[in-house]
Structure 1
Amino acid sequence: MIKSVWQGKKTFKAQSKFGHDIISDAPTESGGDDNGASPVELMLSGLAGCTGIDVTNIMKERLNDTTKFEITVDDEREDNTSRSVKYVNLIFDIEGEVDLKKLKRAIKLSVDKYCTVAHSLKATIEPKLIYNGNEEEL
């Protein structure tokens, strides 16, 4: 569970179940103070982190001779009010001596099977409202 508490203007401070603070904000041109990453940036960084952790788990000691491991996530948005993400380009930039066949398999397994964030981008979201202690119909 994550609880996110409004800090004023457009800034929210969330805390993970492990006690890590996460600040999200809007850029100044959107009325925020640019105190943290935007919510979409947080989502996309979660995707990069999730797939990166999966690949390192699958590859284990096979990454010992890796000199570079970077993941870039680039998104394309819908041209409408919600500006929802319609396409994500997930770029793995890896250098060193790694078994290419096993690396490709690890990346595909992460995206197709293991990465919770990748699968959650397809999730159904059901909002609820508790107003002054009472659950309200939306």
Structure 2
Amino acid sequence: MKVTLARKNNDYQFEALGKTNTPVLIDNTSQDDAKGASPMELLLMGVGGCSAIDVIHILKKQRQVITDYKIEVEGARKQIKEAKPFESIHVTIFLEGDIVEAKALKAASLSFEKYCSVSITLEESVAVTYAVVLNGKKL
């Protein structure tokens, strides 16, 4: 796997490209005129996107009907020398549709414990937890 980043202005903005050549803007969000996501936001997006793809794939295979899917990913950071890495990440999955509760929970569990390469990559240094809300009810 390979990505490229090309600087787009005289400050901190970059355009990142991966396999599909879909541009992703990266910027220093501490600047007022930032026009992209910060690298740390992208990391949280990676955890959420990876899990979302897993959960949807698992539920579709089980013939569950997903009418809406939203995910929130929150990261808590700690100071280590000059850096502020994540110490914990919490993911809340919001599912809507004709979905059996046990299948929703199992899909989330499989994602975070077996399939999601992003959260598994982080698990040695960051506590990743999750919750599932199905049709407005926290499971």
Q: Do the aligned partners of 1:55 and 1:110 also contact (CA within 8 Å) in 2?
A: yes
Gaps of 5+ in 2: 126-139
Q: Which residue number corresponds to residue 55 of structure 2?
A: 55
Secondary structure of the 1:57 match is helix
Secondary structure of the 1:33 match is coil
> 4+ residue stretches of structure 1 with deviation over 4 A?
none
Q: Which residue number corresponds to residue 133 of structure 2?
A: none
Once the two structures are superposed, the pairs formed by residues 1-138 of structure 1 within 5 Å of their partners are 1-7=2-8, 8-27=10-29, 30-31=30-31, 33-60=33-60, 62-64=63-65, 66-80=66-80, 81-122=82-123
Change (3 A) 1:118 1:37: same
Secondary structure of the 1:18 match is coil
Q: Pairwise CA RMSD of aligned residues?
A: 2.0
Question: Highest Rg: 1 or 2?
Answer: 1
Once residues 40 and 114 of structure 2 are traced to their aligned partners in structure 1, the CA distance between those partners, rounded to angstroms, is 23
Question: Structure 1, residues 3-22: CA drift from partner, whole Å, max 9, x if none?
Answer: 11222311111111221111
Higher relative contact order (CA 8 A, sep 6+): 2
Gaps of 5+ in 1: 125-138
Once residues 56 and 88 of structure 2 are traced to their aligned partners in structure 1, the CA distance between those partners, rounded to angstroms, is 24
Once the two structures are aligned, what percentage of the paired residues are identical? 31
Change (3 A) 1:116 1:22: same
1:123 Cα offset (Å): 7.5
Q: Which residue number corresponds to residue 131 of structure 2?
A: none
Report the TM-score, using the length of structure 2 for normalisation: 0.78
